[in-house]
């Protein structure tokens, strides 16, 4: 598993969201600088990591490790599963850019298996995702876990949660990072504006 700091200072492996920085940085460096050499060097490293996660996660649901760290509400380990799904998608994209068609298909297929498993595990009869927190809905929407037809209702539920919480978030470091971006992308910049301009705790003000 990847170390959680670079250079390593002896911290234990914290889980998928931290390690996913490796494939994410590969894609971002290629996107902004056209840097493919690093992808060629690091793809085998990321592949070994993801294969190890897959071997330790036979049911495709993450069962340990930190997830939405420093969340204001309790978060179960399974909440990391959408980021596991996105990690497989990232490896599929990297493999495709490197001309590794079979590996690209392998990780695209793994991502779909993870998505299906998480839908069966976390989606409640009312359409929300367990445990019903803002972060759970953000991850389901932001990482394209939820089917397209169900997105509007889930977005409405997320907005309602923010509004009834006096335009405040209950998320940790990952949910908070994705929340304003998700709201703006989904046409709710008004909610994002109120969220980031809230002056009481918790809030940027």
At 50-60, the pLDDT tens digits run: 999 999 999 99
pLDDT digits (tens, 9 = 90+) for 150-192: 999 999 999 999 999 999 999 999 999 999 999 999 999 999 9
> Are the CB atoms for 47 and 33 separated by under 8 Å?
no
> Cα(144)–Cα(118) distance, rounded to whole angstroms?
11
DSSP 64-88: SS--STT-SS---GGGGHHHHHHHH
Return the pLDDT at 103: 97
The three-class DSSP label of residue 37 is: helix
pLDDT band at 204 (very low <50, low <70, confident <90, very high): confident
> Are the CB atoms for 87 and 23 separated by under 8 Å?
yes
pLDDT digits (tens, 9 = 90+) for 81-133: 999 999 999 999 999 999 999 999 999 999 999 999 999 999 999 999 999 99
Q: In the beta sheet, which residues pair with residue 129? A: 123
């Amino acid at each position: 598993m990847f170390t959680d700091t670079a250079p390593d200072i002896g911290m234990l492996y914290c889980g998928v969201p931290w390690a996913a920085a490796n494939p994410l940085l590969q894609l971002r460096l290629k996107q902004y600088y056209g840097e493919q050499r690093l992808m060629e060097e690091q793809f085998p490293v990321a592949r070994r990591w993801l294969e190890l996660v897959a071997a330790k996660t036979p049911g495709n649901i993450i069962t340990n490790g930190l997830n939405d760290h420093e969340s204001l509400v309790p978060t179960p380990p399974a909440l990391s599963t959408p980021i596991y799904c996105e990690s497989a998608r990232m490896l599929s994209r990297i493999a495709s850019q490197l001309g590794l068609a079979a590996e690209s298909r392998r990780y695209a297929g793994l991502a779909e298996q993870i998505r299906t498993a998480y839908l069966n595990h976390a989606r409640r009869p009312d359409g929300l995702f367990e445990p019903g927190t803002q972060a759970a809905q953000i991850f389901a929407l932001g990482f394209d876990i939820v089917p397209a037809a169900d997105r509007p209702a889930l977005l409405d539920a997320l907005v309602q949660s923010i509004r009834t919480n006096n335009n405040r978030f209950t998320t940790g470091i990952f949910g908070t990072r994705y929340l304003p971006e998700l709201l703006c992308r989904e046409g709710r910049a008004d909610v994002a504006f109120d969220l980031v301009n809230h002056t009481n705790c918790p809030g940027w003000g």
